[in-house]
Amino acid sequence: MTTTPVAIVTGAASGIGKAVAEAYAAQGTAVVLTDVQDEAGEALAQQLRDGGAQATYVHCDVSQLADHQKAVKVALDTYGRLDYAVNNAGIGGDQGPTADYPVESWQKVLDINLTGPFLGMKAQIPAIIASGGGAIVNVASILGMVGFSGAPAYTTAKHGLVGLTRAAALDHSAQGVRVNVVGPGFIHTPMISGLEENPDMAAMLAQLHPIGRIGEPEEVANVIVFLTSPAASFVTGSYYAIDGAYLAR
């Protein structure tokens, strides 16, 4: 078994997940990258290996328990342990008022954004315990704390993820597994790239944040990596907003 820490990062092919994987690799943590964007995921893993890091890509549909179990098995088979997990994969889903929201879209958003992290933790926690303990960070949103018109499914899933994180922390902190959740504001990622193509929309999104701009993926990654580090050894069951004071209004 390696003494190098090992992390699983879901949704690692782009956006926040990519920034987290790069941050882990830069500090010497071995990374198992998962996503459904196989070409981008494989390319990132190769890029990290070319830079001297230990990195492996695994295809993972986060709505499927078997895929999470496969990712954990790859971590154990390749590196011998699992210390950290970042359940980041998510989708924005369709937009529309609650009464008109398509049932199929509702189910898809909840399957990926809420059931996905639950299934991830179900596979990850036993392996982390067996490795001597570690930490998990789930990636929610500012919409885990407040509502947003036209996003009933996304808002519900992210609120649920905050509650799930707190329950998991209560269940497993005594076993050496810390579980926290972060709530990014609007971040420069592919999820909002379509909105930012409209200059007026981009300006409006920036103005929602008292800091006066949209966040960068690396700013979220820095907090996530801290939360899984020994420096955060007494932090569990907590929600961390990374939002340029969006929630402080």
Domains by residue range for the chain, with CATH:
6-248 (3.40.50.720)
Hey, which residues are catalytic here? Answer: 154
pLDDT in tens, 26-82: 999 999 999 999 999 999 999 999 999 999 999 999 999 999 999 999 999 999 999
Find the mean pLDDT for residues 186-197.
77
DSSP characters for the chain? --SS-EEEEETTTSHHHHHHHHHHHHTT-EEEEEES-HHHHHHHHHHHHHTT--EEEEE--TT-HHHHHHHHHHHHHHHS---EEEE----------GGG--HHHHHHHHIIIIIHHHHHHHHHHHHHHHTT-EEEEEE--GGGTS--TT-HHHHHHHHHHHHHHHHHHHHHGGGTEEEEEEEE-SBSSGGGHHHHTSHHHHHHHHHTSTTSS-B-HHHHHHHHHHHHSGGGTT--S-EEEESTTGGG-
- pTM, to two decimals: 0.96
pLDDT band at 196 (very low <50, low <70, confident <90, very high): low
